[in-house]
Amino acid sequence: MKFSEISVCTTTEASEVVAYFLQEACMDGVSIYDKNDLYANSSWDYKDDGIDKSYGEEVIVKGYCNLEDTDRVLDFLRQSFVGILNAGSLNMTVNQVDGDAWVKTWKETFKPIETDKLVICPEWQNVETDKKVLLLDTGVAFGTGQHETTSMCIKLCEQLPLTNKSVLDVGCGSGILGLSALLLGAKNAELIDIDCQATDIARHNAEINGLTDCCSIKTGNLTEQTNERFDIVFANLTADILELLHKDILKVVKSNSKVVLSGILDVKLQQVMSIYSDCFSVEQVVSQGEWRALLLSVKRDI
C-alpha cells in the first residue's frame, strides 16, 4: 500500500502552524525537520559535523495522505496557507512512500499520554495506572491528543463539573473529547463529524471503551444532525469554522451551558472572541504555543 508524502518548505516561526494544517488535512504523525533544533538541543554527546548539511535552509514539514486524496489535500493547504505571516516559500512537493512501513513506524511513536485525570492509551498497548484509561485507535488519520489544540480541550474538560451532564463533541474526529468526558462522569455524549471515516473510528473507540450505550455518533454537519441542547459543548476545529458555527452552537446550548472552543491561532483569538461575545462570556483562555482555547459560558437565557 502506498501513501503520498507531502513536504512543505517554511520557516521555524511558521512551522507549527503549517504542521497544524497538514494534520488537519492528512493523517496523524506530521513531522517537522528544522536545522535550528540541532543547535537548540544541548544534550548531544556527539554530533557529526556534517549532519546539518542534511537539512535545507528552510524548515520542512511532512504529512501523509491516501494517494486518491492528494489533490484535495493540496487544494486545502493552498487555501489554508493564505495569510500566514513570515512563512517562507511554502513550496510543496509530493512523493510516494511505502504505507505499511510508515504505519508501523507511526504505531511505534504513538505512546500513552498522561493527563491530570486520564491516560490516553493506544489500543494495541497496555498501561498500569490508577487513572481512567481511554483506549484509542485513531486509524492513523485522526487526533491522538498530542496536538496542543486537543490537549488544551482535555485540560479544560478535566476542570468541568461533568457528573450527569450531557455533552456534544462537534467535529469529533477520533471521538477523544466526547469519550473522555464520558469517562470523567458525563451522563451521555453526542459525537458529530462531517467525515464518515472519523465517525467510523469514533464508533470503534466507543466500543473498545465500553461506552456505546451512553453515546450517539452521527455523520453530517451540526445543524442537520441534532435538535438537542447540551450542558457541555466541545468544538476543536479552526478559527474560520468556529466563526461560521457560532449561531449554530447557540442553538444547542442551555442557559447554564459551558462551551470549549479550540483550534484558534493567537492572531485569530480576538476575532473569534468578538463574534462569540454577543451571547457568551469568556471564563478562561488557555494557551499552548501559538494556539488558544476558550472556555465560554452563556450570557443570557436561551
Cell numbers 489533490 correspond to what residue? 71
Query: What is residue 222's three-state secondary structure?
Result: helix
* pLDDT of res. 142: 47
* pLDDT of res. 28: 60
Strand extents, DSSP E, 1-70: 2-10, 31-33, 59-66
Q: Is pLDDT above 50 for 157?
A: yes
Q: Which helix (H) or strand (E) holds 241?
A: helix 239-250
pLDDT mean over 118-145: 77
Where does the pLDDT of residue 47 fall: very low under 50, low under 70, confident under 90, or very high at 90 and above? very low
Where does the pLDDT of residue 224 fall: very low under 50, low under 70, confident under 90, or very high at 90 and above? confident
Domain parsing of the chain, residue ranges: 2-105, 150-298
Nearest 10 degrees: Cα torsion 165, 168, 174, 176? -30
Q: What percent of the chain has pLDDT over 70?
A: 83
pLDDT mean over 57-77: 89
**Is the CATH number 3.40.50.300 carried by domain 150-298?**
no
Q: How far apart are CA 70 and CA 44, in angstroms?
A: 37
Q: Is pLDDT above 70 for 101?
A: no
Q: How far apart are CA 92 and CA 271, in angstroms?
A: 29
* Alpha-helical regions (H) of 144-238: 148-159, 176-183, 196-208, 222-225
Q: How far apart are CA 44 and CA 39, in angstroms?
A: 9
* pLDDT of res. 262: 94
Cell numbers 444547542 correspond to what residue? 252
* pLDDT of res. 94: 95
**Is the CATH number 3.30.70.260 carried by domain 2-105?**
yes
* pLDDT of res. 206: 97
CA distance readout (Å), 196 to 180, 203, 221, 281 = 21, 10, 11, 33
* pLDDT of res. 19: 85
Query: pTM for this structure?
Result: 0.75
